[in-house]
Amino acid sequence: MPLLRALLEGGLDDPDAVRIGDTAFSGPELLGAASVVADEIAERPDPSSPVAVGATASAETVVAVVGALLAGAPVVPVPPDSGMAERAHLLGDSGATTWFGDRPRDVTLPGKRVDLSRRAGHEVREATGDGPALILYTSGTTGSPKGVLLSADAMAAGLDGLADAWGWTAADTLVHGLPLFHVHGLVLGVFGALRTGSRLVHTVKPTPENYARAVREHGGSLLFGVPTVWSRIGDDPASAAALTDARLLVSGSAPLPVPVFERVRELTGQAPVERYGMSETMITLAVRADGERRPGWVGVPVAGVECRLRAVTDGPDGESVTTDEEVPTDGESIGELQVRGPSLFDGYLNRPEATAETQTADGWFRTGDAAVVDADGYHRIVGRRSVDLIKSGGYRIGAGEVETALLAYEGISEAAVVGEPDDDLGQRIVAHVVCSGASVDAQDVMDFVGERLSKHKRPREVVVVDELPRNAMGKVQKARLRRG
């Protein structure tokens, strides 16, 4: 069954079915425009070679990506704000031979513009094959970005799992303003609509006003956002009030702070649902539309996905090592999250050793994330095992849990927790915080966390900073915060 099932089966026939900013298509119009791109790709010397797309938040990006999928050429979405060195790495590593969209001066590949007015006069079907449909690049927090190979079948399986979890159907109108170069914005936020047949409204910019307008004017029912989007909506009661007519509010890509969760629930009348996934796995955990909504918890495995936790211990050199030991489902014990199912990637491009490192001997994917699971199967992510699992005073502590507690403190708008060497504790918990107003009292912050979590989880030091160091994807670079 094709990835873009509804689009290819004649669905989305509303003239306003796919709206990107001020540009709207019906499904057949989108298919006709994308077929022109597919024909251009097929005319290249090597039609199966990867295609780079300057992934701006535009109708041109959607048409180019869909066209490449129709032609069977792997798509390399290139972030529009990427620098010259990053672009050079993505293009060189992927082997892309053509650039679609506005071409930066430093890009020497043959370039093609997308003409939204053109339509192919013939029927085009989605190409079939076992190769990758997307090459998505990781954020490069542990070296140069790696190309994640995602097949059409893997994306289809992941989207079907989410459709089941969220009751996502052709009756919905999906609204979001997320970037079109990663899983959240492109796969879930575009391919999801073209598979389920739901209408799509991409707001280009994810502002509270744009989301409110999309609900009022276009009947938005399913809304996607990252925590920053929901935080800004929580600060805009007038826009938030318009979202009461939406069916489901979804938050992802990072943990949603509890105060933001509560504020959105207060203003809209419904709590957001959270989910968890990676480029390598699609979305593996999600709070169901009919499930309990708990702040900080990302739900249960979606249909077709299995998850397990394995214990983490100290290796011979003091490093964290994952064992084969099961972790109790008590909602407190931390282990490495491992998953398996049909939505997993096919490996890292030209990185067989890196791919092998992610696999267990019995066929599970090692996410590298530390998590807890309770008796009901609900999961909470506490951070990356490599940087967010802190060993202090004989305890293993997830930095994410401490960060969530810190964000509940009035006056703290951002928080990043790291472990630093300590002669007594092994590692001491150090909190780096950004204040939204006046500076905070460090001891009061430490006491605040100690009252909400176990005493051993409280920070031993609080450092106020103007901003947290982040990479191009917005992820905090904790290595730059460590001082020892």
Residue 339 resides in a domain: no
Please give the Cα distance from 304 to 482 (Å, whole number).
39
pLDDT tens per residue, range 432-479? 999 987 778 889 999 898 888 878 788 999 999 988 887 655 677 887
Q: Pairing mode, if any, of strands 98-100 and 51-54?
A: parallel
Q: Which helix (H) or strand (E) holds 32?
A: helix 27-42
**Crossing angle for the helix pair 208-218 and 227-234, to the nearest 10 degrees:** 80
- Predicted pLDDT at 84: 86
Structure tokens at 348: 């890292």
pLDDT of residue 439: 77
Average pLDDT per run of 10 along the chain, which is 484 residues long?
90 95 96 95 94 97 97 94 87 96 94 94 72 87 80 96 98 96 95 98 97 97 94 95 97 86 95 95 97 94 96 66 87 93 96 95 92 95 73 73 85 87 80 85 90 83 88 71 73
Confidence at residue 254, expressed as pLDDT on a 0 to 100 scale: 79
Which CATH number do you get for residue 431? 3.30.300.30
Is residue 124 one of the residues assigned to a domain? Answer: no
Q: Which two tokens stand for residue 448?
A: 């605040």
The rounded distance, in Å, linking the Cα atoms of 189 and 108 is 30
Report the pLDDT value the prediction gives residue 85, as an integer from 0 to 100.
84
What pLDDT, on a 0 to 100 scale, did the predictor assign at position 398?
74
Determine the pLDDT at residue 483.
72
pLDDT value at position 174? Answer: 98
Distances (CA, A) of 40 to 68, 109, 155, 212: 9, 15, 25, 38
Residue 298, domain member (yes or no): no
User: Tokens standing for 484?
Assistant: 């020892």
Domain encompassing residue 447: 393-480
pLDDT at 17: 97
Cα 456 from chain centre: 31
Look at the chain and report how many structural domains it folds into: 1
Task: Give the number of other CB atoms < 10 A from CB of residue 23.
Answer: 15
In a domain, 435, yes or no: yes
Residue 3 lies in a domain: no
Tell me whether residue 321 is in a domain: no
308 occurs within a structural domain: no
- Partners of 415 in beta bridges: 433
